[in-house]
Amino acid sequence: MCQPNEVVRATPAAKSSGALTEIQQMQLECWTMFRDRLLEKKVLLLVQTPGPQYWLEIALGRSNIFLSNILDTYAGRIGIRIYRGNRIAEAALAQLEKDKDAIEKEIGEKLSWNPTPEKRDKIIGLFRNADVSNRDAWPEYCDWLVDCVGEFHQACVWRIKALT
């Protein structure tokens, strides 16, 4: 079984040749369902076109900071994370951590704050176990992610726009 970074490297070649792996096809179909639900429920007005990859990004109004939804077939989980690129990651994390209790209260969940401190990019995430290969569970998974996007967006967009 390949690791996520192998899938990331294989995606451009597969897209250009038109040949998707079984996992990439599954990711594309699940992200398409998720995108459709986001738009149907009017959680967001615009969502990028899904790709055959383990993530789907949603803009948060600042460069290098976005919501990254994940379908992690290797760890058997789905999730959402505020992802901050390395140029501003440390400063942004420190500023958002000042509002940690308020953010978690508004979202209604304890979040994972910077679970990999050795990495340059920083995340704040919420994850749950999921068998993404079980297509019958996709509606539940997509609804959970849609709800999370709404909660994260409401709790964090204005804070992210106010970062210095």
Q: What is the pLDDT of residues 92-138, one digit of tens each?
A: 888 999 999 999 999 999 999 998 888 888 899 999 999 999 999 99
Strands (E), the chain: 55-62, 65-72, 77-84, 112-113, 122-129
Average pLDDT over residues 11-15: 48
Q: Is the pLDDT of residue 11 over 90?
A: no
Residue 14 pLDDT > 90, yes or no?
no
CA distance linking residue 45 with residue 39, whole number of Å = 6
pLDDT at residue 43 in the model: 93
Model-level pTM greater than 0.75?
A: yes
Domain that holds residue 22: 4-161
Going by pLDDT thresholds of 50, 70 and 90, the confidence category of residue 6 is very low
Assign 16 a pLDDT band (cuts: 50, 70, 90): low
The domain spanning residue 111 has which CATH number? 3.30.1460
Rounded average pLDDT over 57-67: 89
- Angstrom distance (rounded) from CA 27 to CA 50: 9
Task: State the pLDDT at residue 100.
Answer: 97
**CB neighbours of residue 44 within 10 Å:** 16
Higher pLDDT, 67 or 1: 67
Q: Report percent pLDDT > 70 for the chain.
A: 90
Mean pLDDT of all residues in 131-156: 97
Cα–Cα distance between 101 and 50 in angstroms, integer?
A: 32
Residue 10: is its pLDDT beyond 80? Answer: no
In this prediction, residue 17 carries a pLDDT of 55
Residue 3 has pLDDT above 70, yes or no: no
CA Rg value for the chain:
16
Instruction: Provide the domain count of the chain.
Output: 1
